[in-house]
Structure 1
Amino acid sequence: MNDCTSLNDYGNLFRLDGKRAVVIGAGGIGHEVVRGLAAHGAHVICVDRDAGTAAEAAEAVGGEALTLDVTDAAAVHDAAAALGEVDVLVLTAAMNVRKRILDYTTEEFRQVTRLNLEATFTVLQAFGRGMVERGTGSIVVFSSIRGLVVEPGQSVYAATKAGAIGLVKTAAVEFGEDGVRVNAIAPGVVETPLTSQIKADEQWYAAYAQKGALGRWARPSELVGAVVYLASDAASFVTGSTLMVDGGWTAVDGRFTPPT
């Protein structure tokens, strides 16, 4: 990229031709991310703890499938070494236990932090090392609006998602001089199997829809553009950022619309 970019080059800003992309968490939002990256020319390696999920995502785009538990640090480092050159790394894997602080168990705390925070660190370390050595790469970590705003029952999840943003910023600073960009995406409420508990409660579902400026939930496909942008040369000077894809959730001050 330079100041003499031609109009033809601008037309290819979002292309990922010849890039090898790894998507960790290939179900739900991750499945749509796989399709979006492939549509822009990337060869995608679909990674998931569930072999069937990884295989299904890979089959949809002619990519590769890899079964991996990202809470197993040694396995993550082995996978990063075995995969070799990776240009784009997207991490979507996460979990939540929705309980108030006084009701949380130590084991539940450990489960959530192990996947959402410890595994994020492991992935950044394992895949970031190779990118730094090659002097190029883009890493995209899925955080959440809960990394910035909270509600009852979201203590540990919110803490891990805020922690993920902190890790992203630090990795961006540490990897940046070697040409590696690291960014986060913070979705709002998204229609996925993981939000089925909320969707099953009409009042709860409606309240969440009304919270955002657009007055509705997101579809998984609506997260794809942000990933492609951050993965591509269109975001060549973007690093250490958290891109809000929340339908205006964090822009709205409460749910009351006053008369004007």
Structure 2
Amino acid sequence: NEQSRIDILINNAGNNIPEHFTKVKTKNMENLVKINTIAAFNVAQLCALKMIELKNRKKIGASIINISSQMGHVGGPIRSVYNMNKFGLEGLTKGMAIDLAKYNIRVNSIAPTFVITPLTRKFLKNKKFRKETLNNIPLGRFAEMSEVSSAVAFLASDAASMITGTSLLVDGGWTAK
């Protein structure tokens, strides 16, 4: 019914276990694929089915936003499994955008750089890693959660009504290099 409709999905589950490609443990890889790719697919599929149910969807429209990463656009050391997952999420975003466009459901991704969160704080305590990471961001700082949420608000809004199948990079210029 109209009261239980879904207009916006923000698909934001993810994890990372940094390991050198030659040392990746199969269990870690499988767990990351389940969290970063399969879960995103399953949640998006369930929500898309619910979004399609709305009879006047062509008029109202809907938006699915997958939270990806700059690592879905570039490679990085000790990130092979994470890269694999985020590149996959970017591909899923494009495929979904094509399949769901006829229902007026837009699908995009947001690809942030390192955002200050409880998850990233533990990695950023390593001074060498922190310095190397900042050296890759031309703006010279990490992203704030508010910067990512502003990008989400834009893609979910009517201002983005003609945007589908793309990735909004919130990476301080990392991928521009």
TM-score normalised per structure 1: 0.63
Partner of 2:128: 203
Name the SS for the 1:177 alignment partner. helix
Is 1:137 the counterpart of 2:52? The answer is: no
Name the SS for the 2:108 alignment partner. strand
Partner of 2:73: 148
Partner of 1:103: 23
Name the SS for the 1:130 alignment partner. helix
Give % identity: 37
Which protein has greater RCO, CA pairs closer than 8 Å, 6+ apart? Answer: 2
Partner of 1:190: 115
User: What stretches of structure 2 of length at least 5 have no aligned partner?
Assistant: none
Partner of 2:146: 221
TM-score normalised per structure 2: 0.92
- Aligned residue identity for 1:100: H
Q: 2:6 aligns with which of 63, 71, 86?
A: 86
Partner of 1:163: 88
Once residues 143 and 167 of structure 2 are traced to their aligned partners in structure 1, the CA distance between those partners, rounded to angstroms, is 18
Is 1:120 the counterpart of 2:35? The answer is: no
Name the SS for the 2:77 alignment partner. coil
Per the TM alignment, residue 132 of structure 1 is displaced from its structure 2 partner at its CA by 2.0
What is the CA RMSD across the aligned residues, in angstroms? 1.5
CA contact (8 A) 2:7 2:63 kept: yes
- The Cα offsets for residues 33-86 of structure 1, whole Å up to 9 and x where unpaired, read as xxxxxxxxxxxxxxxxxxxxxxxxxxxxxxxxxxxxxxxxxxxxxxxx9x9311
- The Cα offsets for residues 115-170 of structure 1, whole Å up to 9 and x where unpaired, read as 10101110111001111232231010001011111112111111111100111111
Larger radius of gyration: 1
User: What stretches of structure 1 of length at least 5 have no aligned partner?
Assistant: 1-80, 253-260
1:24-63 maps to which residues of 2 (within 5 A)? none
Q: 2:155 aligns with which of 230, 233, 241?
A: 230
Runs of 4+ in 1 over 6 A off after TM superposition: none
Q: 1:212 aligns with which of 137, 147, 158?
A: 137
Once residues 142 and 43 of structure 2 are traced to their aligned partners in structure 1, the CA distance between those partners, rounded to angstroms, is 29
Once residues 127 and 15 of structure 2 are traced to their aligned partners in structure 1, the CA distance between those partners, rounded to angstroms, is 23
Once residues 25 and 133 of structure 2 are traced to their aligned partners in structure 1, the CA distance between those partners, rounded to angstroms, is 27
**In proportion to residue count, which structure has more helix?**
2
